[in-house]
A and B are shown apart, each in its own frame.
Chain A
Amino acid sequence: MATKVHMEALSPTMEEGRLVKWTKKEGDAVKSGDTLAEVETDKAVMELVARTDGQLLKVLVQEGATVPVGNIVAWIGKPGEKVNGAGSTEQGAAAPKSTPAPTAAAPKPAARAPAPPSRPAPTAPAPVAVQPDATRVKASPLARRIAKDAGVDLKLVQGSGPGGRVVKRDVEGGAPQATAAVAAPAPRSRTPAPSGAPYEDVPLTQIRKTIAKRLAASIGPIPHFFLTSEVDMERAAEAREALNQQLGEGGGKISFNDIIIKAVALALVQHRACNAWFQDDHIRYWNEVHIGMAVAIEDGLITPVIRNADVKSLREIGAESRELASRARNRRLKPEEYTGATFSVSNLGMFDIDQFTAVINPPEAGIVAIGSIVPKAVPDGERVMVRRRMRLTMSCDHRVIDGATGAAFLKTLKQMLENPLAMLL
């Protein structure tokens, strides 16, 4: 009798796996322990091995498809043996149990090339695997009751019980206690290279799905985290004065805000992983840079968009931002002028705010909050200098941007502001 090959739980928290590649094909002889396929779990790409000897009779799942743990993915048996090809929906208990391991891990250092070598094929393989239980959440009756009473969506909770069962400890206190494990292993960068198209949709990887699911339940629908960096604005101030002298009385002045917008746009070109939209089942990495600029208006705020800010000159940015801000205050913006930003900047420097955290404007994945430029005593070798300093705080959507990714972007932004000539590179 032929033996079923199940999608096994290859990590303690794995609920489904993406079949990356079959390393055996139908008709191949297999021995117990042979690697049959590579499977991407929520943590890593793992090997699915044969549990019996025989011939790989039938493969039920195509490469690229995602399959819940326990589903049959193949049959092994004697050559010529008949197998049931329609059995892929059966839930099996084939997953080897293992003690849940601590999942927290430090993110890898941020030395990541801005453009990874490959980009996914434009047409992803059609998911053929039947996923009957994709929406079913395993939870203990008590966990269900607690979640219901607390208004917690169990789909957003990572279960710590067997087979990912959500149990009491996962829902205690009304919200999942998942944030400690967020960092997890650093995902491989999936940011596609620029291709001329306005954007590319990249399907969510398993790890990205897990991060999204776990973090989405932390603070509201968007799991924010914040990165602050202090920037020396001395040279930016000098550059601004020089440029304004050059422009003379006739032209509009360049503001710090214009310089910041330009620097943010150029930094995003180098860190396209931050220039993205979270789109539920995929992340849209933009090849164009459109900067939303938060403008306070009477009883509210709006974010007019400086389109293609990375390729505009400071003077163009300055003129456009003044014009947009003015019309924003008069409520004369057209919808297309305040939608479609890929990233935003919010500046409260004029209000003497040292630093603050801005709320992300979905579906964008990040926003930078600008504080006041203030003179500060700064050590310079043995001496103490007084320098004009400014604090930047980046809010990141953790479903898209990991700590190291955001930090790398912020570092580039800081370098550009501290050495404005870099913007000419």
Chain B
Amino acid sequence: MATLTYRDALNQALREEMQRDPNVFLMGEEVGVYQGAYKVSRGLLEEFGPQRIVDTPIAELGFTGIGVGAAMGGIRPVIEFMTWNFAVLALDQIVNSAAKMLYMSGGQIPMPIVFRGPNGAALQLASQHSQAWEGWLTHIPGLKVVAPATPADAKGLLKSAIRDNNPVIVLEGEMLYNMKGDVPDGEHLVPIGKAEIKREGSDVTLVCHSKTLSVALKAAEQLAEQDISAEVLDLRSLRPMDEAAILESVQKTNRAVVVEEGWPYVGVGAQVVDIIQRDAFDDLDAPVQRVTQADVPMPYNKVLERAAKASPEKVVAAARRVLYLDS
């Protein structure tokens, strides 16, 4: 067990998987010489050489397509996007090629590819570079989507993603790269599709993922000061989603607040609410509340940006509403 940053945990996962399997390679903008825009690929060019750590031109659709073709050919590409905001340019390859290849080939052509990069708003990057894409990507059948919130989960989920024979989207929290945490050495695999309770509680379930885990944990602390026991459930995987874990927690607490970085319309939280209302209806004591980014393009202005984001205060307020403490 070592204390690592989130970026170094990802780096460790990449290195271990590349050591383990010579078919794994990394491709993207600035991943080689510059060692990654967020330094996730530090030291990898030196260790694995330019055949396996491939710098690309600024051409997302092109190198994503090369990656999809490589996966069709039987090797295991990891495609890094400098941010998911730029991956929009490559959505045709991700959605129309990678996600559908196994299906449209009648099961003949597996697609063992990983698409990864930073997701969600950082600080004052303005609306075009401050977006949470999980709603878009989780929508697509054929893709798996994971969104680790801690260094340990980042390592364990990226390793599982690289070994998976399906296209897996790894959403790395742009604000999380510097986050430190204990990371198990060596073979540490977090199964895709398993949520984890990050804090136990009995009065309300706070469902979160990625960066909103820290928001939910802070909210849970504030709620504890008000004698409200909040359970924090980190989804970790968005597709497949751990429905059993969500239901089990809500059956215990009878109330839920879903927290996410994305916009409210058709967001991940909407899916969580759907699961709860359908399969935990008789356990619910209050309509499920959601805390999301405000339904606007992210403002550049610092104060407005802060106001638009999900915050512990908003989660506390929502939790009090589902407990009928406030209206």
Contacts and interface: CB of A to CB of B under 8 A. Distances in A.
Interface of A: 97-100, 140-145, 160-162, 167-169
B38 interface: no
Contacts of B326: 99
B203 to A, nearest CB: 11
B282 interface: yes
B108 to A, nearest CB: 47
A160 B327 CA distance: 11
Contact of B282 (A142, A161, A169): A142
B58 interface: no
B319 to A, nearest CB: 15
Contact of A161 (B254, B281, B283, B324): B324
B279 to A, nearest CB: 12
A145 B281 CA distance: 10
Interface string B271-285: 000000000011111
A99 B326 CA distance: 6
Contacts of A162: 324, 327
Nearest to A139: B285
B283 A142 contact: yes
B286 interface: yes
Nearest to B284: A141
Contacts of A168: 254, 285
Interface in B275-327: 281-286, 324, 326-327
B282 A144 contact: yes
Contacts of B285: 140-143, 167-168
B280 to A, nearest CB: 9
Prevailing SS type, chain B contact patch: loop
For the complex of A and B, 7 pairs with smallest distance between CB atoms: A97-B327, A142-B285, A168-B285, A140-B285, A145-B282, A141-B282, A141-B281
Given A140-B284, A144-B282, A160 B324 contact: yes
A154 to B, nearest CB: 14
A98 B327 CA distance: 7
A142 B324 contact: no
Q: Which of A142, A143, A145, A167 has most B Cβ within 10 Å? A: A142
25 contacts: A98-B327, A140-B286, A141-B281, A141-B282, A141-B283, A141-B284, A141-B285, A142-B254, A142-B282, A142-B283, A142-B284, A142-B285, A143-B285, A144-B282, A145-B282, A145-B283, A160-B324, A161-B286, A161-B324, A162-B324, A167-B286, A167-B324, A168-B254, A168-B285, A169-B324
Q: Size band of the B side of the interface? A: 10 to 19
Nearest to A140: B285
A145 B280 CA distance: 12
A236 to B, nearest CB: 55
A53 B286 CA distance: 36
B321 to A, nearest CB: 9
B282 to A, nearest CB: 5
A260 B326 CA distance: 54
A94 to B, nearest CB: 15
A99 B283 CA distance: 25
A182 B249 CA distance: 36
A99 B321 CA distance: 11
Nearest to A166: B285
Contacts of A140: 284-286
A210 to B, nearest CB: 20
Contacts of B286: 140, 161, 167
Contacts of A167: 285-286, 324
A152 to B, nearest CB: 15
Contacts of A143: 285
B246 to A, nearest CB: 16
Contacts of A161: 286, 324
B255 to A, nearest CB: 9
A143 B254 CA distance: 10
A329 B237 CA distance: 80
A162 B326 CA distance: 10
Contacts of B281: 141
A35 B28 CA distance: 69
Q: Which of A97, A99, A167 has most B Cβ within 10 Å? A: A167
Contacts of B283: 141-142, 145
Q: Which of B254, B285, B327 has most A Cβ within 10 Å? A: B285
A390 B254 CA distance: 54
Nearest to B251: A142
Contact of B327 (A99, A144, A145, A169): A99
Contacts of B324: 160-162, 167, 169
Contacts of B254: 142, 168
Nearest to B283: A142
Nearest to B281: A141
Interface string B250-279: 000010000000000000000000000000
A100 B327 CA distance: 9
Nearest to A162: B327
Given A97-B327, A142-B284, A162-B324, 5 more contacts: A140-B286, A142-B282, A161-B324, A168-B285, A169-B324
